[in-house]
């Protein structure tokens, strides 16, 4: 399968990552089917898309009619069977191996054998996810960054059995969505989270151990190294539960240097997950 053969794109999961991927695919001209398990999640996904498209129109990146056309190209569903005629599917469900494998089993039953199946996993093994399907050569990682409509990069991850054609197509598809790519082998955390998670955890530990206040740690890193957000602010942006999950996978696979910060676990236990719950390290309106 080549880029020209892809007309219809499926996205499994209408959460932050899924709805962002659906939006950028639709804005690039693909017909998109966005599926989640309940209608309320699909509707919430469309709300995010409407808000994001509105922001892109406000800063002249899209015209109102381009935004409307993109919106019209996205069909929402709770029925996985509606993805049966998709040429490429991106899975963006929760970071849980059992859940992802079950989605892949269902996709293998539902989709044509030539359909490319991508996972947006941020730390889990592509090879293990692909092991439950009869077409592992068509499975790869397409790891988008949050917020998907704004972030320019997509990490293309190569599983043990990912075929060369699938890989070429993965890069071409991401580029067609206006993204730039890099390639990573199927090792825990790939490139981005292997390096980012210890950076965030070290920021949290520095705060917990009294090196500086939260805002000074974030200012130190933004002003000192030209990143847009410091580690605590970025953790809140990503979601502390997501950071903890990724850190725990890395810790399990790579040992003690990836141990999650104690304060991160405590915040997640308290339900303070960052921007999405109104409080994390900082408070949000």
Binding site: which residues? 13-18, 36, 95, 100, 122, 146, 276
Q: How far is the CB of 215 from ligand CAA (least distance, A)?
A: 15
Binding residues for NAD(+): 13-18, 36, 95, 100, 122, 146, 276
193 is catalytic: yes
By C-beta, is 115 or 203 nearer to ligand CAA?
Answer: 203
Host H or E run for residue 169: helix 164-176
Spatial CB neighbours of 270, under 8 Å, sequence gap ≥ 6: none
Contact 140, 162 (CB under 8 A): yes
* Contact positions with ligand CAA (CB under 6 A) in 30-89: 52, 55-56, 59
Identify the H or E element spanning 232: helix 231-238
Q: Which of 144, 101, 135, 143 is nearest to 116 (CA)?
A: 135
Catalytic residue check, 143: yes
Instruction: Please choose, from the candidates 33, 23, 147, the residue with its C-alpha nearest in 3D space to the C-alpha of residue 84.
Output: 33
Determine whether 283 is an active site residue: no
- Residue number with CB closer to ligand CAA (111 or 188): 188
Chosen residue from 229, 254, 263, 279 binding ligand CAA by CB under 6 A = 229
Q: Which range, of 34-42, 75-83, 146-154, 180-188, touches ligand CAA by CB under 6 A? A: 146-154
Q: What is the smallest separation between the CB atom of 200 and ligand CAA, expressed in angstroms? A: 9
Choose the catalytic residue: 193, 201, 233, 247.
193
DSSP code of 9?
Answer: E
Would residue 122 show up in a list of annotated catalytic residues for this protein?
A: yes
Catalytic residue among 52, 120, 122, 247: 122
User: How far apart (Å, rounded) are the C-alpha atoms in residues 105 and 119?
Assistant: 13
d(CA 14, CA 49): 10
CA-based nearest residue to 248, from 234, 268, 220:
268
Residue numbers of the site for ligand CAA (CB under 6 A)?
A: 52, 55-56, 59, 122, 145-147, 149-151, 192-193, 196, 228-229, 234, 237-238, 242
């Amino acid at each position: 399968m080549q880029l020209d053969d892809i007309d219809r794109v499926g996205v499994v999961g209408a959460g932050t990552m899924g709805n962002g991927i659906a939006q950028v695919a639709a804005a690039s001209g693909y017909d998109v089917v966005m599926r989640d398990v309940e209608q309320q999640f699909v509707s919430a996904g469309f709300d995010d898309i409407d808000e994001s498209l509105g922001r892109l129109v406000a800063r002249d990146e899209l015209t109102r009619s381009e935004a409307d056309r993109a919106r019209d190209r996205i069909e929402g569903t709770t029925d996985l069977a509606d993805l049966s005629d998709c040429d490429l599917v991106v899975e963006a469900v929760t970071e849980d191996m059992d859940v992802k494998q079950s989605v892949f089993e269902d996709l293998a039953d539902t989709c044509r054998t030539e359909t490319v199946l991508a996972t947006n996993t941020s730390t889990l093994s592509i090879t293990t996810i692909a092991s439950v399907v009869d077409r592992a050569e068509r499975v790869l990682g397409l790891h988008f960054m949050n917020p998907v409509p704004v972030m320019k990069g997509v990490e293309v991850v190569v599983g043990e059995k990912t075929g060369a054609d699938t890989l070429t197509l993965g890069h071409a598809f991401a580029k067609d969505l206006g993204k730039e790519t890099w390639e990573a082998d199927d090792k825990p955390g790939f490139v981005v989270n292997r390096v980012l998670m210890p950076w965030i955890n070290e920021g949290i530990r520095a705060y917990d151990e009294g090196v500086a206040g939260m805002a000074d740690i974030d200012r130190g890193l933004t002003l000192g190294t030209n990143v847009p957000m410091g580690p605590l602010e970025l953790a809140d942006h990503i979601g502390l539960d997501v950071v903890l999950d990724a850190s725990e996978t890395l810790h399990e696979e790579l040992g003690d240097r990836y141990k999650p910060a104690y304060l991160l676990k405590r915040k997640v236990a308290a339900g303070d997950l960052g921007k999405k719950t109104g409080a994390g390290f900082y408070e949000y309106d």
